[in-house]
Amino acid sequence: MEIHIVQNAERGAEVVADVFVRTLQEAGESGTVLGLATGSSPVPAYAELIRRHREEGLSFARSRAFLLDEYIGLPAGHEQSYHHFIRENFTSHIDIDDAAVVSPDGASADPVSEAASYDRRLREAGGVDLQILGIGSNGHIAFNEPGSSLGSRTRVIGLARSTIEDNARYFDTADDVPVRALSQGLGTILEARRIVLTATGAGKAEAVAQLAEGAISARWPATALQMHPDVTVVVDEAAASKLELADYYRYSRRLEAEHPLLALG
């Protein structure tokens, strides 16, 4: 796990965007399958990728994208659906085919079958080349709340009270927040070939500390990422404030900058 501690969200967005660019370049003509997260954490990175598309010619034309999750009960056109969110904040501003941006159907009459179908579609697409993640204050990634199986697949999941309260800012009241969602499981997410997670703010500090330095446990679902061979974590100073090994992470990044061959190892 590679930990980058940055001064602010803008610098963090540049680091995350660099991971996207590297992945797109490695795929070349064959195209890339991107895993996209919603919520506030990835928005600065999406803004930076839009800028690079407009100003530097970064192309997503050969890419496909799969969303991590979707609220159950919200149709695709609902302004708080993640289907709508990702288009408003990212994909409608770049050159990806809209039909290639896929999300679970939160309005499905049979969400259990929809979850199984979505997991199957991910496998049939060849899996995700790069998955971007945020992290909840309780350590959830996607909607894998504390207690989720580390091997879980895409499924129906009930949202924790803390998640509902955190997401209430996007709705008129907390009572309007859906209480269930379709979410890729931890096992599904871990099948991505490369993962980048970004977080800002002191409210994420405990979750980030557990993610990087805690024991692997269903109590903190994000700790499952410790089992993945290619994870980049990008956090600002506030989100990094509870990392006991923060000085080591900074030292490691300085060494890589001074000796680029170390980063290749």
Q: What are the catalytic residues? A: 69, 138, 140, 145
Letter string b/e over residues 12-41, b meaning 16 or more CB atoms within 10 A of that residue's CB: bbbbbbbbbeebbeebeeebbbbbbbbbbb
C-beta of residue 146 within 8 angstroms of C-beta of residue 140: yes
C-beta of residue 243 within 8 angstroms of C-beta of residue 209: yes
Letter string b/e over residues 209-219, b meaning 16 or more CB atoms within 10 A of that residue's CB: bbbbbbeeebe
- Nearest to residue 60, comparing CAs of 97, 19, 15, 103? 97
| Residue 79 burial (CB count, 10 A) | 10
Report d(CA 228, CA 94) in Å as an integer.
Answer: 29
Report d(CA 122, CA 119) in Å as an integer.
Answer: 5
**CA dihedral sign, ordered 63, 64, 67, 70:** positive
